[in-house]
Chains A and B, each alone.
Chain A
């Protein structure tokens, strides 16, 4: 009799642990989705600003062309190419910012200022996103999670390789 109580106790504890782990993982997946949504919206906004800059008087025609092309590419890229196409856009924006001293018009300065603010935010958003992704990957590689398939059918999140220094 005592043994039975013990076994039942262990089983209950184990199932509690499984349910706890599952909800823990669920929360992590949720966090990844949220941090990605944030990052994604910030990147979209950056692409929009890049297009606006390309159309403004700030840039010469060649830079305009480059900016427009890379902004469109970043916007239409799918998940896998996103990272690299965003890096290309970063590079293009970086080149333009390097010459910002020669820009005088007030309205153009405002645009550049907005871009700068956005860049700071993107940097923080990337680090938040990368952290939540690595955390999730780490947890999903643990034995209990793999053995009992606690992740269900959720795809393994991928990190965003972003050249944060390029901007």
Chain B
């Protein structure tokens, strides 16, 4: 066990200005480490402003480019590269923790420039892609420098093995379970209610699948209500719904974390009909911690979190009938619902930061045995010396 306090540098590839799964994970991890007395700096693309937390260092503004089927706000280039290099050089870090080092952003630059104890976390889960395999030979020598690799889920690990032929330790994303444990049930959200949380305009979040299932469910459960929380334009969604069913749907808009806990404690079923593109499913862990009974599509990431149906019900992804059947069964069977919810609530502890953070720190300890500080790598040094930049 290492008792001394460490200097840890974390690199975030995506813009800090736009919240996302990776950014949230890094924020929570940084705060966990700081609470344990370590010194942490997070290097991220961000606009300089007062709202940045103390530990975030801006490496410049991100650029938006389409990458891997979505718009990624990332940062690279000559200026960014020299920022990364001077950050590593001045930081005197014991260890670097690079997130998503396989995408063209700050983490990749840091991995290229750094030498010493480096841990990489791979978040993305994607189908087999030729493009990534094609750039493999370029990435391999860089990724190889990592002393240890972490994948956030089994599907992220498989993505990594398929594309870059390297293995990783699976450590899930973390949640602060106690934030969700004490939600109080709100009568206005109780009854035969099913809940949905997230940016519902994005098709891959799967709201259309849920809406298609509504006619069938409401035939069997006449007093069904659907509560949808999250940012987006509700009118556009309602247009596509049968007018007779429109009054069953309530939009709550964006809700706060405290409201989220109440929401999860109140609803009868939490539905996650995502059709893919999820690597982990942190929201399922949160829902379980909040005591909700979870019904999710059987995409690999979700099946993983729900222990193949042990801690929540799974339906066939993109199949509204399968979803309807499970929702009806569960709404009619309170016993079963309670059973799943309590199994889920226990299981959610596995994702608590107290556990996840400990596991990540264990990997840190194993990665930095040699006890040297992170420095700029030697082959880069000889080049800069040759070009007279030293």
- Do A and B interact? yes
Give chain A's interface residues, CB within 8 Å of chain B.
19-20, 23-24, 27-28, 31, 34-35, 37-38, 41, 120-121, 124-125, 127-128, 130-131, 134-135, 138-139
A31 nearest in chain B by CB position = B147
Knowing A34-B369, A38-B366, A121-B362, the reply to whether A131 touches B141 (Cβ < 8 A) is no
Knowing A23-B378, A24-B141, A27-B144, the reply to whether A128 touches B169 (Cβ < 8 A) is yes
Interface of B is mostly: mixed
Task: Verify B366–A27 contact, CB threshold 8 A.
Answer: no
Task: Verify B147–A23 contact, CB threshold 8 A.
Answer: no
Q: How far is the CB of A123 from chain B (nearest CB, A)?
A: 9
Task: Verify B169–A124 contact, CB threshold 8 A.
Answer: yes
Give chain B's interface residues, CB within 8 Å of chain A.
141, 144-145, 147-149, 165-169, 362-363, 365-367, 369-370, 378-379
What are the residues of chain B within 8 A of A125 when measuring CB–CB? 366
Q: How far is the CB of A7 from chain B (nearest CB, A)?
A: 21
The CA of A5 and the CA of B141, in the complex, are separated in Å by: 29
What are the residues of chain A within 8 A of B141 when measuring CB–CB? 20, 24
What are the residues of chain B within 8 A of A20 when measuring CB–CB? 141, 379
What are the residues of chain A within 8 A of B149 when measuring CB–CB? 131
Q: How far is the CB of B19 from chain A (nearest CB, A)?
A: 30
Task: Verify B379–A131 contact, CB threshold 8 A.
Answer: no
Given contacts A20-B379, A28-B144, A139-B144, 20 further A-B contacts (CB under 8 A): A23-B378, A23-B379, A24-B141, A27-B144, A27-B145, A31-B147, A35-B147, A121-B365, A124-B169, A124-B362, A124-B363, A127-B167, A128-B147, A128-B169, A128-B363, A128-B367, A131-B149, A131-B167, A131-B168, A135-B166
Interface of A is mostly: helix
Q: How far is the CB of A142 from chain B (nearest CB, A)?
A: 11
B367 nearest in chain A by CB position = A128
Partner of B144 from A37, A124, A135 at Cβ < 8 Å: A135
The CA of A3 and the CA of B363, in the complex, are separated in Å by: 53
What are the residues of chain A within 8 A of B145 when measuring CB–CB? 27
What are the residues of chain A within 8 A of B370 when measuring CB–CB? 34
Task: Verify B147–A34 contact, CB threshold 8 A.
Answer: yes
Some 28 contacts from A to B, beta carbons below 8 A apart, are A19-B379, A20-B141, A20-B379, A23-B378, A24-B141, A24-B144, A27-B145, A28-B144, A31-B147, A34-B147, A34-B369, A34-B370, A35-B147, A37-B369, A38-B369, A41-B369, A121-B365, A124-B169, A124-B363, A124-B366, A125-B366, A128-B363, A128-B366, A131-B149, A131-B167, A134-B167, A135-B144, A138-B165
Q: How far is the CB of B139 from chain A (nearest CB, A)?
A: 13
The CA of A63 and the CA of B89, in the complex, are separated in Å by: 54
Q: How far is the CB of A28 from chain B (nearest CB, A)?
A: 6
What are the residues of chain A within 8 A of B165 when measuring CB–CB? 138
The CA of A24 and the CA of B140, in the complex, are separated in Å by: 10
A42 nearest in chain B by CB position = B366
The CA of A154 and the CA of B9, in the complex, are separated in Å by: 33
The CA of A131 and the CA of B147, in the complex, are separated in Å by: 10
What are the residues of chain B within 8 A of A135 when measuring CB–CB? 144, 166
